[in-house]
């Protein structure tokens, strides 16, 4: 895909530094985020989850997985567009929960499907870090604030 040629504006450290300064609440509540990979057209984000992310049954609660998906997309867009992406917002998400996650870290792999002038559509595969099982599939669309 040609969007793999689209260069990054910020590397992983720059994205994390901006987020910690401008959006610290993204790191509250259930865990921390690490960017394991960030390159043109794709990213890999790990959420280090603590016990407050668990639900009855001892598995990761749905909202924790939804948050990982959404924050990972924001990381992906900040990497590609820098601070101009700050006001980009989610317009649509479709997410399926495939298997019961193991307690513990979750890894989200993102690929750009389309990086249009108005909408950015991303494909997400979410894994339990412990087992490497695919636990969720998602598609997220952001309204692109970059002009």
- The Cα–Cα gap between 83 and 9 comes to 9
Residue (70 or 105) nearer to its own copies, CB: 70
Residue (17 or 134) nearer to its own copies, CB: 134
- The Cα–Cα gap between 6 and 112 comes to 11
Reference 48, options 34, 66, 69; nearest CA is: 34
Supply the minimum distance, in Å, between the C-beta of residue 54 and its own copies. Answer: 7
- The Cα–Cα gap between 18 and 118 comes to 23
Supply the minimum distance, in Å, between the C-beta of residue 53 and its own copies. Answer: 7
Residues facing 65 on adjacent strands: none
Residue (128 or 141) nearer to its own copies, CB: 141
- Going by DSSP bridges, is the β-strand pair 106-115/119-128 parallel, antiparallel, or unpaired? antiparallel
Supply the minimum distance, in Å, between the C-beta of residue 74 and its own copies. Answer: 9
Supply the minimum distance, in Å, between the C-beta of residue 80 and its own copies. Answer: 17
- The Cα–Cα gap between 61 and 100 comes to 10
Residue (113 or 146) nearer to its own copies, CB: 113
**Residues near its own copies (CB under 8 A):** 1, 22-23, 25-26, 28-30, 51-57, 59, 61-63, 66-67, 70-71, 86-87, 89-100, 113-114, 118-119, 121, 123, 134, 137, 139, 141
């Amino acid at each position: 895909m040609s969007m793999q040629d689209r260069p990054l504006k910020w590397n992983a450290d720059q994205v994390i530094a901006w987020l910690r300064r401008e959006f610290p609440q993204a790191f509250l509540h259930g865990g921390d985020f690490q960017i394991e990979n960030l390159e043109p057209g794709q990213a890999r984000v790990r959420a280090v989850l603590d016990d407050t992310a668990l639900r009855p049954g001892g598995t990761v609660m749905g909202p924790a997985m939804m948050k990982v998906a959404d924050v990972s997309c924001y990381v992906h867009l900040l990497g590609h567009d820098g601070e101009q992406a700050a006001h980009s917002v989610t317009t649509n998400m479709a997410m399926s929960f495939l298997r019961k996650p193991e307690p513990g870290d979750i890894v989200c792999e993102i690929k750009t499907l389309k990086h249009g002038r108005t909408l950015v559509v991303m494909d997400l595969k979410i894994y339990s870090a412990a087992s490497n099982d695919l636990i969720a599939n998602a598609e997220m669309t952001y309204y692109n604030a970059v002009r």
